[in-house]
Structure 1
Amino acid sequence: MVTPSKRKHDDVREGEPDAEAPPTKSQQTYKKHDVHWLLDGSILLQIGKTRFKVHRSRLASESVWFQTLFDQRAGCVVETPFQYQHEIDRVLETAETVDGMDLFYLDCDFDGGADDFAALLTAMQMGIDYVFATPDLKTLGRIYGAADFFQVARYEKFAKKVLTTTFPDDWKKLRAKPSPLAANGVSMGDDFNVNVILRHSFYDLARSNFVEYPKEGDEPSGTYSDLVTLKPGQFIRLLNLQKHLMLSWDTIRSITEHLCGGEKCSKQHRCNYFKDAKAAHPFDPILGIGALLARSTLMTSTCDQAEKEVRRRLILERDLIWENMDEWLNID
């Protein structure tokens, strides 16, 4: 890869004025970041047209990626090749010196933008404050993506912990109303390979009421507005999940129509509340089963044997639905 500075020397013939050569990248128009431009900073970093001035030592102490970049820029060579050496090489090829400081262009391989990198820097600056004021999921996604690429393990771990707390892999942690951030959870779980949040995220999304379009003039919010960010494959998985959740009610109905096997009781017992539960929770059989089990009695013309057996099988079915979601959603 030929850098602009190399093109200046390669393309300009001897004797011609330098003014005719294209400017180096450092001379081109850029914007100082509003927050992360430290007067006592020791390193310049640029993504797109946004330039950052930060402390070299802070980045090196938090990130193996940046430590490797800075060491190799200084001429240090190690015997063991760095895992992402190709990324380091491309950044070093475009590195320049501006006012005695190294300037690195980070958008050679980094898919994120300046806002993503800024979110990571803010997290590093905020530190312990984020324990008491967790960033929103959009900001968290920016932190996770940047921390993952630049190998800032502490903040990658922090972001993952917030995600798994928001979407715990446990049906017992489902709330009465689905999270309006479920679509974000699906996208982030897939993008960052955090499979442990996918069951909860997809389930909340499947049972959300996003059928109605927002009225003209209304600001779309929550699940509906974020639904458009899903990829085609995620839509297919969502529809497949909804199909299986609807079919689960057939199994639930069969369970509630349990026929006693005892000689003293040959009647077919039916659940009083099945239709109401299905109507209230069409794509939410897990909480639907919970609503049935919360009733003091489930069956008409009931006997103790039938009541106990139906409850036992409903409890098993609830666990089985959650377990089967891995297969329905093709989660590894």
Structure 2
Amino acid sequence: MSDSTVALGHVTLPGLCRVVGAKSLVNTSLKSLEKPLCQGFVESPSTSLEQDTTMVDAPDLEDSPNGGKRKREEEELNLSNDKGSKRLQPSYTKHSKFWLLDGNILLQIETTRYKVQRSRLASQSTWFEKLFEQHSGKEAAEGDEDKENINDVLLTVECVDGLDLFHLNSTGVARDDFDALLTAMDDGICYYHDTPHFPVIASIFRVADRLQFKKYLEFAERVITEQFSDDVGDITVAEIPFAAEAVVLGRNWNIPKVLKRAFYELARMEHSLEEPAPEDEKESNDEDDPDEALEKLHPGDLVRLLKVSKYLGTAWHDTVFALTARCTQKPARCEHRSRLLLELRASVLPKYEFDPICGIQELMKIDLKLKNYCESCVIAMKQMLETKQDDIWADLDAWIGLNVECDEE
């Protein structure tokens, strides 16, 4: 009997392997082997079959179709694990919207990658136009302020699937801001009748300013300055949301025209005694909580806001008492001013405590003749109210330090 053929009853070992398979043979005939099946078997003097002392090599499972396949699968799995998490966690994510089938350029901000049209960007942005030209070999113009910034991006360029990939992290552009601008490029015509809320417009402004999308910059700046108009005649009782964001934008992006109105809105909003009208409730709910909004302000602007509130309150009280002063004529032609003062203290005075502009508008509606004011006093009081309104609005420039840049933290 040869080493490779051991009789087991009337069936030879190779025959048994063919009938029940290699795994069954190992489980029933080689119980004393200690090494796992996948590691193979090695002859040992102490290992023998129960009915014969002739040693036998276990069948090489790698030679069988199933064993070899399993071995290759294990090796491939180990190789995949050895390569680390990079294959399991890609370094980028395709943008869900701005991944165009006909895109011919790749951009990446943080871990988000965009596939867009080179010509569309270059036609709207002088910054992208210069970036692509310099990538193609054109020299930057002498004294170009964007040269250093563009060079930083050019150092990141790589080729991916035949397309140039530009990393924009060094530009300081935020991903959400860039999304807002690309959306405006696609849906801009819809903004004519339905202007987005301030945060979206602010996002468009920041990207358009930094990457020189001129038309979009002009659009965003016009919307922002109209919404936070510095014309006293544009102030109404309707409060404007996102005033804190407007202060931050005005400071950081040099839009001083919005600061006066934004500070005024913050001052009266923090002390508003009125419930929002139903039609205004949805818009006001879109804004951050007032306390959270104030957290966005620089500490220096928080101090200015406290001063503005104090000045507005003082100016309002002074105006009300001036309206109820003694008759300007000698001898006095009208009396009973104290009665009007009592009425105002009970109604108008607390309502416009930190909103003197709208408070003065309310005072102008009072028919002073019905309050026993003489003709001379009616004219004098009207002029006084108009002057007070203009003075308060002009004084805001100094109160908020309009010409003073906010110190860096």
Q: TM-score, normalised by structure 2?
A: 0.68
Return the match for 1:167 from 225, 228, 243. Answer: 228
Residue 255 (str. 1) matches residue 322 (str. 2): yes
Partner amino acid for 2:267?
A: A
Distance 1:221 1:154, change over 3 A: closer
Q: How many residues align?
A: 304
Q: For 2:201 and 2:194, locate their aligned partners in 1 and report how far apart those are by CA, in whole Å.
A: 12
Return the match for 2:238 from 158, 177, 196. Answer: 177
Q: Partner of 2:161 in structure 1? A: 99
Unaligned 5+ residue runs, structure 2? 1-81, 274-284, 404-409
Partner amino acid for 2:325?
A: H
Q: For 1:261 and 1:172, locate their aligned partners in 2 and report how far apart those are by CA, in whole Å.
A: 28
Distance 1:264 1:58, change over 3 A: same
Q: Partner of 2:122 in structure 1? A: 60
Q: Which moved more, 1:150-159 or 1:187-196?
A: 187-196
Residue 307 (str. 1) matches residue 307 (str. 2): no
Q: For 1:52 and 1:136, locate their aligned partners in 2 and report how far apart those are by CA, in whole Å.
A: 25
Partner amino acid for 1:202?
A: F
Residue 124 (str. 1) matches residue 191 (str. 2): no
User: 1:242-271 CA deviation, whole Å, 9 max, x = no partner?
Assistant: 011011034314422433453332777454
Residue 84 (str. 1) matches residue 155 (str. 2): no
User: 1:49-91 CA deviation, whole Å, 9 max, x = no partner?
Assistant: 0001111111111111111111110001144332121111111
Unaligned 5+ residue runs, structure 1? 1-19, 213-218
Tell me the SS of whatever aligns to 1:70.
helix
User: 1:265-318 CA deviation, whole Å, 9 max, x = no partner?
Assistant: 277745434423221111011111111110111796532212221221111010
Distance 1:298 1:53, change over 3 A: farther
Q: Which moved more, 1:27-36 or 1:299-308?
A: 299-308
Distance 1:132 1:103, change over 3 A: same
**Do the aligned partners of 2:229 and 2:261 also contact (CA within 8 Å) in 1?**
yes
**Do the aligned partners of 1:278 and 1:285 also contact (CA within 8 Å) in 2?**
no
Return the match for 1:75 from 137, 144, 159. Answer: 137
**Pairs within 5 Å for 1:137-148:** 137-148=198-209
Q: For 2:196 and 2:328, locate their aligned partners in 1 and report how far apart those are by CA, in whole Å.
A: 57
Q: Partner of 1:238 in structure 2? A: 305
Residue 203 (str. 1) matches residue 270 (str. 2): no
Distance 1:81 1:262, change over 3 A: closer
Distance 1:303 1:331, change over 3 A: same
Q: Which moved more, 1:31-40 or 1:231-240?
A: 231-240
Residue 296 (str. 1) matches residue 296 (str. 2): no
Tell me the SS of whatever aligns to 1:53.
strand
**Residue 211 (structure 1) shift:** 8.3
User: 1:11-70 CA deviation, whole Å, 9 max, x = no partner?
Assistant: xxxxxxxxx999x9xx96210011111111111110000001111111111111111111
**Do the aligned partners of 1:164 and 1:196 also contact (CA within 8 Å) in 2?**
yes
Q: Which moved more, 1:276-285 or 1:74-83?
A: 74-83
**Do the aligned partners of 1:292 and 1:298 also contact (CA within 8 Å) in 2?**
no
Partner amino acid for 1:248?
A: A
Residue 279 (str. 1) matches residue 350 (str. 2): yes
**Pairs within 5 Å for 1:16-55:** 29-55=91-117
**Do the aligned partners of 1:186 and 1:201 also contact (CA within 8 Å) in 2?**
yes
**Residue 182 (structure 1) shift:** 2.1
Residue 191 (str. 1) matches residue 252 (str. 2): yes
Residue 325 (str. 1) matches residue 325 (str. 2): no
Tell me the SS of whatever aligns to 1:207.
helix
Q: For 1:257 and 1:135, locate their aligned partners in 2 and report how far apart those are by CA, in whole Å.
A: 45
Distance 1:81 1:42, change over 3 A: farther
Identity of aligned residues (%): 35
Asked which structure has the greater RCO (Cα within 8 Å, sep 6+), the reply is 1
**Residue 102 (structure 1) shift:** 1.1
RMSD after superposition: 2.8
**Residue 116 (structure 1) shift:** 1.1
